[in-house]
Amino acid sequence: MTPGIAAAAALAIAASAAAQPTAPDVPIALVNGFHSGGHIEDYVARVVGELRQADRAGDGLDQGDIDFAMARRAAVQRTGPIQRILPMDLDGDLRITRDEIGTSTSADSGTPDDQTARDRRIEHHLQQYDIDGDGVITLPEAAATARQQAWDYRLVALLATDPDGDGRLTAAELTVLAEKAFRAVDADGDGTTSEPELASIRGRIRESQMTWQAEICPLPAVPTAARLIAYGGYESRTISPVQIESNDKREKTRLVEVTIEPGGQPLYLVLTSYETTLWRLTGATDRVSHVVASSYRAGRGSISAAGVTGVPARKVTISKAGCPNYFSSTTEEEAERARASIRFSLKRDPDAMFADYAADRISLPSGTIAATPDE
Q: Residue 370 and residue 364: Cα distance in Å, rounded?
A: 11
Which residues are CB-neighbours of 221 under 8 A, at least 6 positions away? 346, 347
Which burial class, exposed, middle or buried, applies to 37 when counting CB atoms under 10 A from its CB (0-12, 13-18, 19+)? Answer: exposed
Q: What pLDDT shows up at residue 372? A: 55
Q: Residue 300 and residue 298: Cα distance in Å, rounded?
A: 7
Longest dimension (CA), the chain: 68
CB distance 214 to 322 below 8 Å? no
Return the closest-CA partner of residue 158 out of 146, 173, 169: 169
Q: How many CB atoms sit inside 10 A of residue 8's CB?
A: 26
Return the closest-CA partner of residue 371 out of 280, 363, 360: 360
Q: If you write DSSP's letter for every residue of 133-182 in order, what string do you get? A: -SSEEEHHHHHHT--EESTTHHHHHHHTT-TT-SS-B-HHHHHHHHHHHH
More confident residue, 340 or 151: 340
- 60-116: per-residue pLDDT in tens? 999 999 999 999 998 999 999 999 999 999 999 999 999 999 999 988 877 777 888
Q: CATH for 86-145, among 3.20.20.70, 1.20.120.1200, 3.30.70.920, 1.10.238.10? A: 1.10.238.10
Q: What is the pTM of this model?
A: 0.76
pLDDT band of 128, cuts 50, 70, 90 = confident
The amino acid that residue 110 corresponds to is: G
pLDDT band of 264, cuts 50, 70, 90 = very high
More confident residue, 10 or 134: 134
DSSP state at residue 296 = S
Give me the percent of the chain exceeding a pLDDT of 70: 93
- 231-244: per-residue pLDDT in tens? 999 999 999 999 99
pLDDT at 204 over 70: yes
Q: What is the mean pLDDT of residues 118-133?
A: 89
Return the closest-CA partner of residue 14 out of 335, 234, 343, 351: 343
Q: What pLDDT shows up at residue 14? A: 46
Q: What pLDDT shows up at residue 276? A: 96
Beta strands in the chain (DSSP E): 95-97, 136-138, 148-149, 215-216, 227-233, 254-260, 267-273, 277-283, 288-295, 306-309, 316-318, 352-355, 361-364, 368-369
Q: Residue 238 and residue 359: Cα distance in Å, rounded?
A: 9
3-class state of residue 369 by DSSP: strand
- 137-189: per-residue pLDDT in tens? 999 999 988 888 888 788 999 999 999 999 999 999 999 999 999 999 999 99
pLDDT at 193 over 60: yes
pLDDT at 371 over 90: no
Which burial class, exposed, middle or buried, applies to 327 when counting CB atoms under 10 A from its CB (0-12, 13-18, 19+)? Answer: buried
DSSP state at residue 80 = H
Give the total residue count for the chain. Answer: 375
Which burial class, exposed, middle or buried, applies to 329 when counting CB atoms under 10 A from its CB (0-12, 13-18, 19+)? Answer: middle
Q: What are the domain boundaries of the chain? A: 3-68+151-212, 86-145, 217-369
Mean pLDDT of the chain: 90
pLDDT at 280 over 90: yes
Q: What is the mean pLDDT of residues 16-36?
A: 74
CB distance 285 to 310 below 8 Å? yes
pLDDT band of 18, cuts 50, 70, 90 = very low
